[in-house]
Amino acid sequence: MTKIEKAAYIIEALEELYPTVEVPLDHKDPYTLLIAVLLSAQCTDKRVNTITPILFKRADNPFDMIKLDVAEIKEIIRPCGLSPMKSKGIYGLSQMLVEQYNGVVPADFEALESFPAVGHKTASVVMAQAFNIPAFPVDTHIHRLLTRWGITNGKSVVQTENDAKKIFPREKWNKLHVQIIYYGREYSPSRSPLLEKDFITRKIGTKKVKSTFKDWHSFE
C-alpha cells in the first residue's frame, strides 16, 4: 500500500469513527484555549480540565491574569506539573498580550511562538482550533501512530509534521489531527495498546504489531 493509499484509508476510517470532533480541552475563546494547551504539556487533558475552571474563575482574560502574581498562578496550576515554568509563561504571555496586542490573541504563528512557554505545537493548536487556519500539531499519539502507519520515519516530531502535511490534504489537517488523537487514546494507547481493536495498524502498519508500544515522551 502506497503512502497516498494509506492516507486515503486513514481519512476514511477516522471520518467514519469520528465524524464530529472537538478539542478535548475546555475553553471559550482563543485566550483560554492558549492557556489550556500550554497547561497540557506533560499533563493529561482530563487534569487540565479540572484545573482551568479554578484558574479561569480568577482570570479568564489577560487583563485579569496580570492582576495575579506568578506565585498565585503557580499554586493554582500546580497539579498540572511544571508549574514554575508554566506560571511564568502564563503571566508573561498575558503581559505581552496586554502591552502589545490590546489583550487579543494574534492569529499569527510567529507572534504566538514569541510568547514565553509557547512552542510550535501549542501555537499550531491555537491556529487550527481557534482561528481555523490549517496546521498539523503533532503530539505523542500522532507521532507514534504516523510512525507505525508508515507515514513518517519517526525520527523527530518536526519530520512527522512535515511528512503529514505532504501526504494529507491541507483542508483535512485541522480535523484530522484531532481524529488521530481520539483514535490513539481509544484504540492504541502507548502503555496498554488494545491490539485487537487497533484495526488501522493491523491494516497498514509497516511493522509487526507487538505486545507493547514504545512509550514516547511528551513533546512541546
CA distance 189 to 182: 10
| Contact indicator for 112, 118 with CB cutoff of 8 Å | yes
Asked whether the whole model's pTM tops 0.85, one would answer: yes
pLDDT (0 to 100) of residue 195? 62
Domain with CATH 1.10.340.30 in the chain: 30-131
**Per-residue model confidence as pLDDT tens for the chain (220 residues):** 899 999 999 999 999 999 999 999 999 999 999 999 999 999 999 999 999 999 999 999 999 999 999 999 999 999 999 999 999 999 999 999 999 999 999 999 999 999 999 999 999 999 999 999 999 999 888 999 999 999 999 889 999 999 999 999 999 999 999 999 999 988 887 765 556 788 999 889 865 444 333 332 332 3
CA distance 175 to 157: 19
Task: Check 6, 74, 121, 172 and give the catalytic one.
Answer: 121
CA-wise closest residue to 220 among 85, 119, 129: 119
pLDDT (0 to 100) of residue 197? 85
Architecture category of domain 3-21+136-204 in CATH: Orthogonal Bundle (1.10)
| 202 CB-near residues (< 8 Å, 6+ apart) | 195, 209
Domain with CATH 1.10.1670.10 in the chain: 3-21+136-204
Task: Check 60, 74, 86, 139 and give the catalytic one.
Answer: 139
Q: Which residue has the cell 492557556?
A: 35
pLDDT (0 to 100) of residue 207? 53
Please say if 139 is a catalytic residue: yes
- CATH match for 30-131 among 3.30.70.1560, 3.40.718.10, 1.10.340.30, 3.40.50.620: 1.10.340.30
